[in-house]
Amino acid sequence: MLVRVRSSAVLGVAAVGIDVEVEALQGMPRVELVGLATSAVQEAKVRVQAAVRNLGVDLPEKRIVVNLAPADLRKEGSSFDLPIAVALLAACKRLPPEALEGFHFAGELALSGEVKPIRGALAQAIEARRAGATALVVPEANALEAAVVEGLRVHPARHLGEVVAWMNGVAEPPTRAPAAPQLAPDGALDLADVAGQEHARRALEVAAAGGHNLLLFGPPGSGKTMLARRLPGILPPFTFEEALEATVVHSVAGLTRDRGLLAERPFRSPHHSVSDAGLVGGSNIPRPGEVSLAHHGVLFLDELPEFRRHVLDALRQPAEDGEVCIVRATRAVRYPAQFMLVAAMNPCPCGWYGDARRACRCTLHELAVYRRRISGPLLDRIDLHVDVPAVPCAALPSAGSTEPSAAVRARVLAARERQAERAGPGGPRVNARLKGAALRRACPLPPEGRRLLAEAVEKLGLSARAHDRILRVARTVADLEGADRIAVAHLAEAVQYRALDRRA
């Protein structure tokens, strides 16, 4: 008897429908699994047989063939255990095949029959809804994320025996409803905690308003990390579409168990020992890296020169294109990577170059070697280079009396609304993504502004890319002021954010 059960395979951040077919044939008693399955999927035979036997079900003394169609698509992961077990039980006449109509199954099985969590449950839920399924059975730990998808009943399963009882009509399956987003307490990390640093606070506001990349450099203890960690508090809240896209990436990485939609923009801060695969994604089975986990959020690289140079250079393409393409011999996988890059560094190895309080101990050679760890093309892709000097002791008691994050966030929201209105439907929603004709339309300059920009490009030796980035930052400064056109003052502020170019 041929039984067909619907499931799916996760490829990148999307899922592809898979038919799990089981039939018992005449021949030597054994279970064969075909359909271009990796070793993890092949091992499902052992897990499924043990789980079925622990239900008290004896498999027929026949040759049982399990096919995962389409056969030309490579199958990976452990989420096929549950659909294989359900199809096998139906083929053994322990489940009515008609009861499986409209159901989509995904889950890993322990030998005891317990249903274990999987990666990519949200992507599978989206595919199940697209394919016309009315119900999805997933591990209990993945039910909250899958319940985000509207028009699909999500049944959380803890044990294979529960699924058998539901399909036989012995018990009513529980249905998981979407959970309200769990927001962090207000004011957990507030800009009011930062004493002084008005110039850096302003740069942080400009970066948040336009989605620009930002580099903070200054001596140890000047507040670079403190400022960066308060950036999410002034960013706009997620739209539903942004939250869904970010949650899918985290789901594929296995980071959303017992959680629904992400409520806050991600803030990823990898250690400087991270590999290039860890940062941009990769490995034999392609997984999303930190740049994709920071999608629609912030990627913070502290102690930037301590990262290996080839790892940093791997950031150049994702920072420009907003996505990562990982190519392997059998496939090419794309992951979204629209993130704000925020980095912090000391001005020199000892940390005190240019500081008025302490003398720098570094030689010119050491300073040159230190700065060469960051390539020019990467620096060229960072819109704002901001000096963060040490805070005088007399200014420290003022922490808590400066402008809070809520006030800054209100201005950022207003600036973002102007950008979205100017871009229109389908256009880039932040100035940092303006390109080509859209950039020229959004950033007309007065004659004196064109002269100022030309002089800055000539004196600082800037590239055409840096020229366009200055235009985008100037447009953001004008949006923060509610101005329709870029003025010379807006352009001058954008130019002075190229601090490392001025030091070159």
What does the pLDDT look like over 299-333, one tens digit per residue? 999 999 999 999 999 999 999 889 999 887 677 88
Q: What CATH fold (topology level) applies to the domain 434-504?
A: Helicase, Ruva Protein; domain 3 (1.10.8)
Q: What CATH fold (topology level) applies to the domain 191-422?
A: Rossmann fold (3.40.50)
| Domain spans, the chain | 3-167, 191-422, 434-504
- pLDDT at residue 398, as a whole number: 62
Strand 103-105: give its sheet, edge to edge. Answer: 30-34, 63-69, 14-25, 3-11, 103-105, 135-139, 153-157
pLDDT digit string (tens) for the chain, length 504 residues: 899 999 999 998 999 999 999 998 888 888 999 999 988 899 999 999 999 999 999 888 889 999 999 998 989 889 999 999 999 999 989 999 999 999 999 999 999 999 999 999 999 999 999 999 999 999 999 999 999 999 999 999 999 999 999 999 999 999 998 876 655 544 468 898 888 889 999 999 999 999 999 999 999 988 899 999 999 999 999 999 999 999 999 999 999 988 889 989 999 999 999 999 999 998 777 889 999 999 999 999 999 999 999 999 999 999 988 999 988 767 788 999 999 999 999 999 998 888 878 889 999 999 989 988 999 889 989 999 999 988 877 666 665 668 899 999 999 999 999 999 998 887 788 999 999 889 999 999 999 999 999 999 988 888 888 899 999 999 999 999 999 999 999 999 999 998 776 555
Largest CA distance in the chain: 88
Q: What angle do CA 157, 160, 166 make, to 5 degrees?
A: 70
Kindly report whether the peptide bond that precedes residue 70 is cis, defined as omega within 30 degrees of 0.
Answer: yes
Alpha-carbon span 223 to 196, nearest angstrom: 10
- pLDDT at residue 180, as a whole number: 66
Q: What angle do CA 444, 445, 451 make, to 5 degrees?
A: 150
Tell me the CA end-to-end span of the chain in Å, nearest whole number.
75
What the block records as the tokens of 143 is 């039910």
What 3-state DSSP class applies to 288?
Answer: coil
Q: Are strands 108-109 and 3-11 parallel, antiparallel or unpaired?
A: unpaired
Q: Which ranges of 22-101 would DSSP assign to H, the alpha helix?
A: 39-42, 44-53, 81-91
Prediction pTM value: 0.91
pLDDT digits (tens, 9 = 90+) for 204-239: 999 999 999 999 999 998 889 999 999 999 999 999
- pLDDT at residue 396, as a whole number: 67
DSSP assignment of 458-476: HHHT--HHHHHHHHHHHHH
Amino acid identity for residue 82 in this structure? L
- pLDDT at residue 393, as a whole number: 74
Amino acid identity for residue 81 in this structure? D
3-167: CATH, from 3.30.230.10, 3.40.50.300, 3.30.1180.20, 1.25.40.10: 3.30.230.10
